[in-house]
Amino acid sequence: MANFDIEISEVGPRDGLQSIKAIMPTEAKKAWIKAEFEAGVPEIEVGSFVSPKLLPQLADTAEIVAYARTLPGLQIAALVPNLRGLEAAVKAGVHKVGIPFSQSETHSIKNVKKTHPEMLAEIQRCVEFLQTVPAEQRPRFEVGLSTAFGCTIEGNVDEDVVVSNAEKVLEIGADEVGLSDTTGFANPVQLKRITQRIWDSCGKDKLMGVHLHNTRGQGLANVLAAVEMGITTVDASLGGIGGCPWAPGASGNIVTEDLVWMLEAMGLKTGIDIDKLLAVRELVKEALPDEPMYGFIPDAGVPKGFVPASAV
């Protein structure tokens, strides 16, 4: 039985590190992952299987996965852009694999050089490959519906396209879809509307996770809307690492520390020890001394008398 009501997936070692110029030493990454695991974080996206020429920050992902597998009970996630990346992820022993599918076709072409039909064909190849993998080695395969709420290139994204593409990838054989606010456009009403439409069309069990950004200050408001609806997995990054290239000075990712405090204060168990989590922040700051880190709880502290739900 899981010891949490809401599963927090830490994405800093992937989404955070790929968005900054600094390259964190491999041993520092291992220390970060171990410390978060010991703080009670149930799932960590430890890297991405992409060309090291494109993302030298994540060139050691296979080694990081091998280390993460020594931490008993940790759910290891990784991102892949295509079939080649998926094959590498399976070989490394990842438990959960995500592939980004930009709902803005312009963004898809810029990001992975594929139109929507080409991306659907790539997802089909990924599913066919996974069907050849023994069940005990087969990772859960999630298609992340990126730019689902808006795009810095196209602007508004047609919600009908998002729902239709969710239907298509699930028909192909993906295990689930996730909603990603890649550019920080989402608002709570929009999030509820799109989530409900996908649930109505595809089933509630096919969309249980969200990846939300705080670029325009709506991150925790959107999380609140999501969990009130019944979403059970939320991505976040320690210290909001990664920022957002489209909004200088703004935190891109939701800050894990603030998210844990909010949920625990609401009476929702995350299974995470917030004091231990705040100690991890210091470890990461030492490894990335020149990178800004965000968050209110690290500065203000937890309120006097605070009793986390996970401690009850």
Phi, psi dihedrals of residue 245, rounded to the nearest 5°? -65, -15
Q: What pLDDT, in 10s, does the model give residues 187-201?
A: 999 999 999 999 999
Closest CA to 120 of 172, 73, 192: 172
pLDDT band at 298 (very low <50, low <70, confident <90, very high): very high
Q: Which residues pair with 144 in a beta bridge?
A: 100, 178
How many CB atoms neighbour CB 260 within 10 A?
Answer: 28
Q: Where are the beta strands (DSSP E) in 1-95?
A: 7-10, 43-48, 75-79
Six-digit token string for 193: 């509307």
Position with higher pLDDT, 232 vs 183: 232
User: Which pLDDT tens digit goes with each residue over 131-157?
Assistant: 999 999 999 999 999 999 999 889 999
Q: Is 147 left (phi over 0), alpha (psi -120 to 50) or beta?
A: left
Q: Which residues are known catalytic residues?
A: 244
pTM: 0.96
Q: What angle, 0 to 180 degrees and rounded to 10, lies between the N-to-C axes of helices 219-229 and 256-265?
A: 40
Domains of the chain listed by start with CATH number: 1-79+249-312 (3.20.20.70)
